């Protein structure tokens, strides 16, 4: 068994344990949304302009986005990407820029990825955001609001998100 598989198995166990604790201690914020963070994959980000579409639909400025990208030795360090190498064996994120992104208390964190990804899920779990939204196929314990849609339908996802945020009085009409 390779080191990466052992690391992933260990991270999976820690993640499952943290998710169970989260479900017991969850509190939902009633704050209006002014700051937004997005976690997605590099592949989705290259196909769709998630950041500007969400800014336009929600009417919020300065959205911060971070993409998960498979580690490659030849890639340079980026302030918009993180990889499996940015998390240690204990499940702690070690890249300072990404760590500060996760520690920022966003009013809304959007997990814009549909396929379960241990590293993205761990990032959503570790985020200090007060309200989290994402796709329903990922992990129902991670989000306060789940939307059933395909990642290719960004317009529909954004419209549905806005509709429910207005219903929850987290966004003004």
User: Is the model's pTM score more than 0.95?
Assistant: no
Q: Give residue-wise pLDDT tens across range 67-87.
A: 999 887 777 667 788 988 888
- For residue 54, which of 77, 37, 31 has the smallest C-alpha distance? 37
Q: What percent of the chain has pLDDT over 70?
A: 92
Provide CB contacts within 8 A for 144, sequence distance 6+. 26, 28, 131, 132, 133
Q: Give residue-wise pLDDT tens across range 101-154.
A: 999 999 999 999 998 888 999 999 999 999 999 998 888 888 999 999 998 999
* CA-only gyration radius of the chain, Å: 16
Distance between CA atoms of 111 and 31, rounded to whole angstroms? 19
Q: What percent of the chain has pLDDT over 90?
A: 51
Instruction: With a cut of 70, say whether residue 25 has pLDDT above it.
Output: no
Q: Give the residue carrying structure tokens 């918009």.
A: 80
Structure tokens of 13? 């166990």
More confident residue, 25 or 52: 52
Distance between CA atoms of 104 and 60, rounded to whole angstroms? 16
**pLDDT band at residue 1 under the 50/70/90 scheme:** low
- Domains (range + CATH), the chain: 3-167 (3.40.50)
């Amino acid at each position: 068994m390779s080191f990466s598989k052992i690391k992933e198995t260990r991270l999976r166990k820690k993640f499952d344990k943290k998710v169970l604790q989260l479900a017991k201690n969850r509190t939902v914020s009633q704050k209006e949304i002014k700051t937004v963070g997005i976690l997605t994959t590099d592949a989705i980000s290259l196909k769709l302009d998630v950041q500007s579409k969400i800014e336009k639909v929600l009417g919020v400025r300065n959205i911060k986005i971070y993409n998960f990208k498979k580690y490659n030795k030849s890639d340079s360090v980026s302030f918009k990407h993180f990889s499996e190498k940015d998390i240690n064996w204990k499940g702690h994120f070690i890249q300072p820029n990404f760590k500060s992104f996760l520690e920022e208390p966003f009013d809304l964190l959007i997990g814009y990825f549909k396929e379960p990804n241990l590293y993205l899920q761990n990032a959503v779990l570790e985020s200090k955001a007060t309200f989290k939204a994402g796709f329903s196929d990922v992990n129902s314990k991670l989000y306060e609001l789940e939307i059933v849609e395909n990642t290719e339908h960004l317009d529909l996802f954004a419209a549905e998100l806005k509709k429910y945020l207005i219903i929850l009085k987290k966004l003004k009409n």
